[in-house]
Chain A
């Protein structure tokens, strides 16, 4: 409970109080009580039934039921006994999810899946530490959280609650609150006060909050943008000066037409092409690739790609395509720069040295 800010707790209590028509203080104290978990008793449970029944739609985050109907589910459950089945239907967790979580837990605790499943669906041995409260911001989470400890200790309230719940959806046109912390029983070895892992249900994707903000205001280019750019300019200049103090620009011996260096290499940004020239005919590597892909292809991108979306998930092909060329040219450039030695044969920079004069003797103080 400690991790929920006071203000959130209060806001949730206010919403709930408005919905129920009771004073805020009362709700707040009830929430504190139910959230505590240890002392969950009859009063908290009362809030449960009224809470889930009466909350209007706009005060709670609506999370429509994922499973088809609440009723048929327990009937379909094969192995579990009657009471656990009722509990399972009560918690509104799809059976598959429940099972998966049971498997994971069984694996973690080293017990059999069936055992854990039975335990999770309500047959928890008494005396086990009650599970932690469900996430706070959703007021609807309270009922489940409050009910969970009860379910863990006794079976009677569970069935009672299930019955109230079953009558509710009929009048509520099938809309039920589903934020259910399935009674996750902490592993036996969990010390008191340590929060065990929580299992959340999967609900239909619908954001509670408007995530994407609309632009609300405009700011001037000066100073908001230009100041940042100016700082960036200073930073880059400083970096360049430091780099230039440390690294000497290469100046080899005087140009000599009669002494062809071996290997002869172009500037690094052309070394990808030069590398390509070793694989393909000059007509292809020297002309077709740079003009068709490099010049025409690049320029044509916005006219070919008419997909208006800028979301990466909508442009998987475009991104894949571009990344392919980017990686290919980077790879070729790196090979051509570092992995080509005399005669433009393959060489390893770590054993044969670097055969690229702009990088050679990089660290040399004058």
Chain B
């Protein structure tokens, strides 16, 4: 946030500067990116484990639902972060990804518009994703995580092994 400005002219240059002229900038950026991928992977694995242990069964049904919400929040968080470097990879990955949202029946166009702040990925999208990524989604995510952990304790600790 100190080194990055979510605007079309500045974003890419800021990322480049971050990885070349900031102390440990490259390392931190790498950790951020690989950590994000690992996070998504871990969430999937966690979901599979919970399923195979049958840990979603009463009384934990509600916590499973919270977990599914967290899964999608994680995906969305990762997805919004994907755009921020504003390179070719980011631009077109998000374009492809958000095109899928356009297939939503009836509201497809509106969903895309709300997501991108326009009909296609632009500087408005960059700003929008930035705010979602650093402010809005973490906020929601922390709330759901708190509920998730609270339910873990309330429902009786971790599920046992098979």
Contact = CB atoms under 8 A, between A and B. Distances in A.
B1 interface: no
Give the most central of B15, B35, B54, B85: most A CB within 10 Å: B54
A240 B31 contact: yes
A160 to B, nearest CB: 50
B92 A287 contact: no
Given A266-B96, A310-B53, A357-B89, A283 B75 contact: no
Given A249-B34, A251-B19, A260-B92, 9 more contacts: A265-B92, A267-B82, A282-B103, A287-B104, A290-B100, A302-B56, A312-B162, A326-B48, A358-B89
Interface of A: 236, 240-241, 243-245, 247-257, 259-261, 264-270, 273-274, 277, 282-283, 286-287, 290, 295, 298-299, 301-303, 305, 307-312, 315, 319, 322, 326, 357-358, 366
Given A265-B93, A267-B78, A286 B100 contact: yes
9 contacts: A248-B30, A251-B85, A253-B87, A259-B88, A266-B96, A269-B40, A274-B100, A287-B104, A301-B64
Interface in B1-56: 8, 12, 15-16, 19, 26-27, 29-35, 37-38, 40, 44, 47-48, 51-56
Interface of B: 8, 12, 15-16, 19, 26-27, 29-35, 37-38, 40, 44, 47-48, 51-58, 60-61, 64-65, 68, 71-72, 75, 78-79, 82, 85-93, 95-97, 100, 103-105, 159, 162
B64 to A, nearest CB: 5
Contacts of A315: 54
A265 B48 CA distance: 26
A252 B103 CA distance: 29
Contacts of B89: 250-252, 261, 357-358
B151 to A, nearest CB: 12
A188 B97 CA distance: 72
Contacts of B44: 269
A261 B65 CA distance: 38
Contact of A247 (B34, B40, B56, B105): B34
Contacts of A247: 30, 34
B19 A283 contact: no
B103 A286 contact: yes
A156 B144 CA distance: 80
B139 to A, nearest CB: 21
Nearest to A273: B100
Contacts of A236: 38
B133 to A, nearest CB: 13
Given A267-B78, A358-B37, A255 B31 contact: no
A245 B27 contact: yes
Contacts of B87: 250-255
Nearest to B108: A287
Given A264-B93, A311-B162, A256 B105 contact: no
Nearest to A303: B61
B97 A266 contact: yes
A283 B30 CA distance: 36
Contact of A295 (B52, B53, B72, B85): B72
B34 A240 contact: yes
B55 to A, nearest CB: 7
B88 A256 contact: yes
Nearest to B15: A251
B95 A264 contact: yes
